[in-house]
Structure 1
Amino acid sequence: MSALAEALRAENAAVYAYEFVAGAAGDEGRSEHGLALASEHKVARTELRQAILDREGSPPAVEPTYPLPSGRDGDTLDDFAVGVENTCAHAALWLTAADDTDLRVTGARLLQQATVRALEWGGELDALPGYETR
């Protein structure tokens, strides 16, 4: 349940982030891409919320605000989006270790999607996406 809650928190933050990117972007392509990804994250958010409810859990509340970048230029927004996707990937990774097969499959799919989106924003492919390397 904690992995589900963490994944849902990451998706809540991603929706907020991409709606910000869509509004702050100075070019139409980046703005449209932000809106499209906000929609993708809304789908994942709904799926995770339902998974918590199906397991008789209580979904974590949506925060009133989430951290945003101070800059609004293209490179700053791209880096911000990569960070958002890395956070989602890390959260999804924990679902891949769940006892529940459906949650493992969901986690793997969300991990793959976050990794691909991070690459679309200019991120680098890690050998082990979702793992924190320090």
Structure 2
Amino acid sequence: MPVSDADLSVEAADDGPRALAEALSAEHAAVYGYEFAGGAGGGLDYRTRAGEAALVHKALRDELHGLAVASGVRLKPAPAWYPLPEERGDEALDAFLLGLEEDTARAYAWLSSARDTDLRTTGARNLQGAAVRVLELGGDPGALPGFDAA
């Protein structure tokens, strides 16, 4: 059946605002998680690395919040708490942080598909950063970071 001009003019809904809200939510969780890990981690080096990563995620959170406000995206308030790991050893904390980074990678992969060029660029740039952090924590970001293997 031939495609009509009317069919070509129909555009799919833009998930950019929802993807932006999801990425912001992932960053809120990452800030919370890294600050927790910094307090619960073993030595000074661990606490320092977690604190530095928390600062990176705070900057990303603030950037996304600014984009959301500028584009008129209505946001839900961040939760007062997030699930935390029961074990407090550095290895368990690293596994917990790896999960947070994988969550941010998935959110940024989604954001990188937004129609808005600024959102798409922000998603792609931050996906790269999340992939690096996944590697630093011993994870495998995969060929397409943020996408689960089928």
* 1:77 aligns with one of 81, 93, 96: 93
Q: Is 1:63 aligned to residue 82 of structure 2?
A: no
For each residue in 1:90-124, what CA deviation from the matched residue of structure 2 results, as whole angstroms up to 9, or x when unmatched?
Answer: 00111110001111110011111111111111112
2:24 paired residue number: 8
User: How much does 1:71 deviate?
Assistant: 0.4
Q: Is 1:20 aligned to residue 39 of structure 2?
A: no
How do 1:29-108 residues align onto structure 2 when only pairs under 5 Å count? 29-108=45-124
For each residue in 1:34-78, what CA deviation from the matched residue of structure 2 results, as whole angstroms up to 9, or x when unmatched?
Answer: 100110011110111111111112222110110111101111011
Q: Select the structure of larger CA radius of gyration.
A: 2
2:3 paired residue number: none
Residues 8, 60 of structure 1: 8 Å contact kept: no
Q: Is 1:130 aligned to residue 141 of structure 2?
A: no
Q: Percent identity?
A: 46
Q: Secondary structure at the match of 1:129?
A: coil
- How many residue pairs were aligned? 134
Runs of 4+ in 1 over 2 A off after TM superposition: none
Distance in 2 of aligned mates of 1:103 and 1:126: 23
TM-score by length of 2: 0.86
Distance in 1 of aligned mates of 2:35 and 2:126: 19
Distance in 2 of aligned mates of 1:133 and 1:70: 28
Distance in 2 of aligned mates of 1:15 and 1:58: 21
Q: Is 1:114 aligned to residue 130 of structure 2?
A: yes
* Alignment RMSD (CA, Å): 1.0
